């Protein structure tokens, strides 16, 4: 037992008490009355396991069972007297005493009972990977017999208790929500070999008492909020093999004393604020296999001594301020598999000796200042799977040997000055999945073999000097989802197929293609973006394009297209951008195009259109530059189009003045019908009504759904609010109503809601109406979506369901950020509570509301760090919330619990987990089978989640990119390191 006296920690044992008396001789003497108090305390409250001589272990186990919830009924056989045969229990050889309690991964919840720590002979307690909450019991360190203690991967809160157990060898409290500092008493665990406090919210500095942990081999404090410099005392811990201190806020230099730890196998100091140079003494760590220093502020060059580490398997110093050249000594890394030097200031040539690293699988040098040619034999003797040399100043040709390993999956060389042909041998690299060569000076034609690679899903060859014809027979890429050949010199007719029915993005703009747009374009049922601008295409726009129901953006500008705009374009449910400018199209603009609610941007300039511009939808606010160069009339004043000539009725010449009244009546009726029909097509329907309910008064109702304006009345809404019902049931429709209180109801608020009311997307809950009273009340009416919040059902969803839900959210964000209006709409509070999982469908809907109304800037756990400071929401802050949802979907952890409130720490925890790639330690137990069979999918989506939650908003991907990545993840293979 441990108690505190005058800020001293006293072990409740004779040795501890005697040592206190001995110290008192050299310090201030302890008064006799206080000594008596200590004796009395020891006598009355002695609580170590050793002193429960008559403890009833049967009753202790039943007490434990009573304190926790067991949904899987794992403890169902804890009901007979022979407890040594109970599930999770092991006894000594005589079957008389409990020596081990193992209840890990049994989905248990509730509190940890103090009874766990009253067993006399207990050696192992493992209750990890459950849902236990509350604080760690005060007597956790009271059993001197305890050797292994594992409480990791629960929801525990509070501080790490003080105290020690001399014989304890393993202490694992990781991946909880513990806070406060690391106790100084940690140095009293003199036998400790394994210590893991990572994945919590611990603060303060690493106590210097750690120097007493001379037997410690595995030391993990990663993913906390620790600060200060790394202590020099690390040099005393000679037995250390693994150091995981990444994902904190450590600053200062890496201590030179780290070179004393010659048994080290693994160092992870990533995601801190470390500065200075990498110490020369690191070359003393000859047993080191893994060195992770990425995402710090380290400067200077890589020390020559580092190349003495001949056993190094993975080196990652990316995202720092390192500079200088990479010496030919790199060949000393004889077993190196992963080399990450990207996002630094390295310069010089890529060393030729790197080609001799036979085990090298991943080489990422992007975003540096490397120049010269890529080494000729790169890939010839290596075992490359990922090669990324993009965004440098490389010149010369692409080596033929890059895929000689037969395993190359990702080849990223964009934004250099590479020239020459694409190597023919790459056409035989059937392992390739992702190829990006854009923004170089490549020339020549594509070989027939290169366009038949079976696994490529992403191919970007844009902004080069490539040429030749692209015809049907050449292309057979069944996995292809993204293809960009833009800004090259390709010619010939467009193929009707690229050997794939999975294309989502097709960009063939700024080439020399001619002929008509093939009708086979309608086979691309997954197509979201189609760009054919700046070519020599002729003929009509095919009607079959209406089969591409997922099209969001179409750009056919600067061609020679003729004919009318097909009426079928109005059948594209999510079309947001349409550019038909600079062609020879003619006829009238289809009125149905104005009724397409998703359409927010149109350019029809410089064609041969005539007649009246539609007065609905997107045409109400179209700019003059988007309609100029035609023979159109009408429209709003901003179009600068002439008014249309009124139809004159000359019948009075035949009927005379006697029929003038009749004629006037007919014209009046016709005018009335015209206005009525026009009002029907208007997006908004506004009415004013009186109600006597809830205090009475006048209400203004603004409907965004014409059918709803006829179905629901203000009295129905107010009755449901009075009866505390959220759903209004009418004859044919159901609506969800919600009153917003304590808001600043002004014109800006209403305007913002009007923008939300125009949103129409299958993954966004429609806002049907806004009801505003003269007394300042505001009620929103949404379509009623039957389902539950994602936060309520996330724990029972399969992997396929979670992926589809993530994809649905991403598509909604893509639509809001890019397609739904002239300015993007940001959600502000993208969270698992704002997402509804639709009953009977593996799909999700986001419910939109104003961020300042929901007060998400203050209370939501999903708010990005920059938004907390600036109070400004952006597309990037939406992506941060989406990243957190991905982490929830992958880990099964719930971020909404108000007692937790540590969403940033969950991000840090996720980064730490990803860096080690131990899937089984962080993936949701329900997904473990899938994760083991498909680790690449899980790893790639976690990588996406970390990109979305990057601290720098500029580093987060756009929603459009996320949609592509999620789609490709189900088919791609990613190397895990």
HEC string of 711-757 equals: HCCHHHHHHHHHCCCCEEECCCCEEEEEEECCCCCCHHHHHHHHHHH
* Lowest-confidence pick of 546-555, 785-794, 902-911: 902-911
pLDDT per position as a tens digit, 314-334: 999 999 999 999 999 899 999
Q: How many CA atoms lie within 13 A of 106 on its CB side?
A: 22
Residue ranges of the chain assigned to CATH 3.80.10.10: 514-633
Fold of 685-783: Phosphorylase Kinase; domain 1 (3.30.200)
DSSP 672-700: HHHHHHHHHHSS-EEEEEEE-GGG-EEEE
DSSP 569-598: GGG-TT--EEE--SSEEEEPPPHHHHT-TT
Three-state DSSP state, 66: helix
The pLDDT of residue 46 is above 50: no
Residue 186 Cα to chain centre, angstroms: 36
Helix (H) or strand (E) holding 942: helix 935-948
pLDDT per position as a tens digit, 243-288: 999 989 999 999 999 999 999 999 999 989 999 999 999 999 999 9
The pLDDT of residue 672 is above 60: no
Please report the pLDDT score of residue 472 as a whole number.
61
- 3-state SS string for 873-916: CCHHHHHHHHHHHHHHHHHCCCCCCCCCCCHHHHHHHHHHHHHH
Please report the pLDDT score of residue 440 as a whole number.
96
**Is the distance from CB of 714 to CB of 689 less than 8 angstroms?**
yes
Residue ranges of the chain assigned to CATH 1.10.510.10: 790-970
Report CA-CA distances (Å) from 575 to 412, 594, 607: 31, 12, 21
Rounded-to-integer distance, Cα 635 and Cα 620, Å: 7
Rounded-to-integer distance, Cα 796 and Cα 804, Å: 14
Nearby residues of 506 by Cβ (< 8 Å), 6 or more positions away = 483, 484, 498, 524, 527, 529, 530, 531
Q: How many CA atoms lie within 13 A of 561 on its CB side?
A: 31
Q: How confident is the model at residue 877 (pLDDT cuts 50, 70, 90)?
A: confident
Residue 417 Cα to chain centre, angstroms: 33
- Which is higher by pLDDT, 508 or 749? 508
Rounded-to-integer distance, Cα 767 and Cα 778, Å: 13
Rounded-to-integer distance, Cα 551 and Cα 543, Å: 14
pTM of the model: 0.66
Q: Dihedral, CA atoms, 51, 52, 53, 55, nearest 10 degrees?
A: -170
Report CA-CA distances (Å) from 525 to 266, 502, 530, 856: 48, 7, 12, 38
Among residues 132, 130, 187, which one has the least CA distance to residue 164?
A: 187
Number of H helices, E strands in the chain: 20, 58
**Burial of 936 per CB tally in 10 Å (0-12, 13-18, 19+):** middle
Residue ranges of the chain assigned to CATH 3.30.200: 685-783
Q: Stretch 584-592: mean pLDDT, rounded?
A: 92
Please report the pLDDT score of residue 588 as a whole number.
92
- DSSP letter, residue 154: S
Q: Dihedral, CA atoms, 691, 695, 701, 706, nearest 10 degrees?
A: -50
CB burial string 962-972: b at 16+ within 10 A, e below: bbbbbbbbbeb
Percentage of residues in the chain with pLDDT exceeding 90? 46
Please report the pLDDT score of residue 556 as a whole number.
95
The number of beta carbons lying within 10 Å of the beta carbon of residue 352 is 15
Nearby residues of 51 by Cβ (< 8 Å), 6 or more positions away = none
**Is the distance from CB of 311 to CB of 286 less than 8 angstroms?**
yes
- Which is higher by pLDDT, 562 or 20? 562
* Rg (alpha carbons) of the chain, rounded to whole number: 35
DSSP 362-392: EEE--SSEEEEEPPTTTTTSS--SEEE--SS
Please report the pLDDT score of residue 143 as a whole number.
86
- DSSP letter, residue 229: B
- Which is higher by pLDDT, 508 or 959? 508
Report CA-CA distances (Å) from 296 to 125, 375, 559, 601: 37, 29, 50, 43
Please report the pLDDT score of residue 748 as a whole number.
60
Rounded-to-integer distance, Cα 247 and Cα 286, Å: 25
pLDDT per position as a tens digit, 118-142: 998 999 999 999 999 999 999 999 8
The number of beta carbons lying within 10 Å of the beta carbon of residue 143 is 26
Please report the pLDDT score of residue 865 as a whole number.
80
* Lowest-confidence pick of 75-79, 206-210, 766-770, 933-937: 933-937
The number of beta carbons lying within 10 Å of the beta carbon of residue 715 is 14
Rounded-to-integer distance, Cα 875 and Cα 285, Å: 45
The pLDDT of residue 225 is above 60: yes
The pLDDT of residue 18 is above 50: no
Rounded-to-integer distance, Cα 496 and Cα 2, Å: 78
Rounded-to-integer distance, Cα 96 and Cα 752, Å: 71
Helix (H) or strand (E) holding 339: strand 338-340
Three-state DSSP state, 453: coil
Q: What is the CATH number of domain 790-970?
A: 1.10.510.10
Average pLDDT taken over every residue of the chain: 82
| Angle in degrees, CA 515, 521, 525, rounded to 5 | 170
The pLDDT of residue 304 is above 50: yes
Percentage of residues in the chain with pLDDT exceeding 70? 84
Q: Does domain 514-633 have CATH number 3.80.10.10?
A: yes
According to DSSP, the β-strands at 631-633 and 290-292 are unpaired
């Amino acid at each position: 037992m441990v108690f505190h006296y005058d800020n001293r920690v006293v072990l409740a044992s004779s040795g501890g008490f005697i040592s206190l008396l001995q110290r008192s001789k050299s310090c201030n003497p302890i008064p006799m009355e206080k000594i008596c108090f200590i004796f009395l305390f020891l006598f009355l409250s002695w609580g170590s396991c050793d002193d429960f001589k008559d403890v009833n272990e049967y009753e202790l186990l039943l007490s434990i069972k009573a304190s926790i919830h067991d949904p899987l009924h794992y403890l169902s056989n804890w009901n007979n007297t022979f407890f040594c045969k109970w599930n999770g229990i092991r006894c000594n050889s005589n079957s008389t005493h409990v020596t081990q309690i193992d209840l890990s991964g049994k989905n248990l919840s509730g509190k940890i009972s103090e009874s766990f720590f009253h067993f006399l002979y207990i050696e192992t307690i493992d209750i990890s990977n459950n849902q236990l909450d509350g604080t760690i019991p005060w007597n956790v360190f009271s059993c001197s017999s305890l050797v292994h203690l594992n409480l990791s991967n629960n929801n525990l809160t509070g501080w790490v208790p003080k105290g020690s157990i001399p014989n304890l060898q393993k202490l694992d409290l990781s991946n909880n929500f513990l806070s406060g500092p690391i106790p100084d008493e940690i140095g009293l665990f003199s036998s400790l070999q394994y210590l893991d406090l990572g994945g919590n919210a611990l603060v303060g500095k690493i106590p210097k008492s750690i120097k007493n942990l001379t037997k410690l081999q595995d030391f993990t404090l990663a993913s906390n909020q620790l600060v200060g410099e790394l202590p020099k005392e690390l040099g005393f811990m000679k037995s250390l093999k693994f150091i995981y201190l990444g994902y904190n806020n450590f600053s200062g230099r890496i201590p030179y004393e780290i070179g004393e730890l010659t048994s080290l196998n693994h160092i992870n100091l990533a995601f801190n604020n470390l500065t200075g140079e990498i110490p020369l003494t690191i070359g003393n760590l000859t047993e080191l296999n893994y060195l992770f220093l990425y995402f710090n502020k380290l400067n200077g060059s890589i020390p020559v001594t580092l190349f003495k580490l001949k056993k190094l398997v993975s080196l990652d110093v990316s995202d720092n301020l390192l500079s200088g050249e990479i010496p030919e000594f790199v060949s000393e890394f004889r077993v190196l598999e992963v080399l990450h030097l990207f996002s630094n200031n390295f310069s010089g040539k890529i060393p030729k000796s790197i080609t001799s690293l036979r085990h090298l699988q991943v080489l990422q040098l992007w975003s540096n200042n490397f120049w010269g040619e890529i080494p000729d034999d790169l890939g010839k003797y290596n075992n490359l799977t990922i090669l990324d040399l993009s965004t440098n100043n490389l010149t010369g040709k692409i080596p033929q040997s890059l895929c000689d390993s037969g395993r190359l999956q990702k080849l990223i060389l964009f934004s250099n000055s590479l020239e020459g042909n694409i190597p023919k041998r790459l056409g035989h690299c059937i392992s390739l999945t992702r190829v990006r060569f854009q923004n170089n000076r490549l020339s020549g034609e594509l070989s027939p073999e290169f366009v038949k690679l079976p696994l490529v899903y992403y191919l970007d060859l844009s902004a080069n000097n490539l040429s030749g014809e692209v015809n049907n027979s050449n292309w057979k890429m069944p996995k292809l989802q993204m293809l960009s050949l833009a800004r090259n010199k390709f010619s010939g007719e467009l193929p009707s197929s690229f050997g794939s029915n999975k294309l989502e993005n097709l960009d063939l703009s700024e080439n020399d293609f001619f002929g008509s747009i093939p009708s086979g374009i309608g086979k691309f049922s997954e197509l979201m973006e189609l760009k054919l601008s700046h070519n020599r295409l002729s003929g009509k726009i095919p009607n079959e394009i209406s089969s591409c129901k997922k099209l969001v953006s179409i750009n056919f500008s600067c061609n020679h297209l003729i004919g009318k705009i097909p009426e079928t374009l109005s059948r594209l449910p999510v079309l947001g951008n349409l550019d038909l400018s600079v062609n020879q199209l003619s006829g009238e603009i289809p009125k149905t195009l104005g009724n397409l609610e998703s359409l927010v941007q149109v350019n029809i300039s410089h064609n041969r259109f005539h007649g009246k511009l539609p007065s609905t939808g997107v045409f109400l606010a179209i700019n003059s530059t988007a309609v100029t160069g035609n023979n159109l009339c009408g429209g709003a004043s901003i179009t600068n189009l002439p008014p249309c000539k009124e139809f004159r009725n000359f019948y009075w010449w035949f009927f005379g003045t006697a029929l003038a009244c009749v004629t006037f009546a007919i014209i009046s009726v016709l005018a009335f019908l015209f206005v009525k029909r026009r009002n029907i097509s208007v997006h908004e329907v506004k009415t004013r009504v009186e109600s006597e309910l809830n205090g009475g008064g006048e209400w203004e109702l603004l409907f965004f759904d014409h059918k709803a304006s006829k179905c629901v009345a203000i009295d129905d809404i107010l009755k449901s609010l009075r009866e505390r019902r959220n759903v209004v049931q009418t004859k044919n429709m159901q609506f969800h109503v919600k009153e917003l209180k304590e808001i600043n109801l002004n014109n800006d608020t209403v305007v913002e809601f009007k923008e939300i009311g125009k949103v129409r997307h299958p993954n966004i809950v429609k806002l049907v109406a806004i009801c505003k009273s003269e007394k300042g009340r505001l009620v929103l009416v949404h379509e009623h979506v039957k389902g539950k919040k994602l936060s309520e059902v996330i724990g029972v969803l399969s992997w396929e369901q979670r992926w589809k839900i993530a994809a649905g959210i991403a598509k909604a964000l893509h639509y809001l950020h890019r397609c739904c209006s002239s300015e993007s709409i940001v959600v502000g509070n993208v969270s698992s509570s704002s997402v509804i999982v639709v009953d009977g469908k593996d799909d999700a809907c986001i419910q939109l509301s104003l961020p300042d109304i929901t007060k998400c800037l203050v209370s939501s756990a999903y708010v990005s760090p920059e938004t907390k400071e600036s109070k400004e929401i952006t597309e990037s802050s939406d992506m941060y919330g989406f990243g957190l949802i991905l982490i929830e979907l992958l880990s099964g952890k719930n971020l909404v619990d108000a007692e937790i409130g540590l969403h940033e720490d969950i991000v840090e925890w996720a980064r730490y987990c990803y860096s080690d790639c131990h899937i089984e330690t962080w993936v949701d137990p329900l997904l473990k089978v899938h994760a083991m069979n498909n680790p690449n999918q899980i790893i790639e989506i976690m990588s996406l989640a970390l990109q979305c939650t990057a601290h720098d908003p500029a580093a987060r991907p756009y929603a459009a990119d996320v949609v592509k990545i999620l789609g490709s993840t189900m088919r791609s293979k990613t190397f895990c390191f």
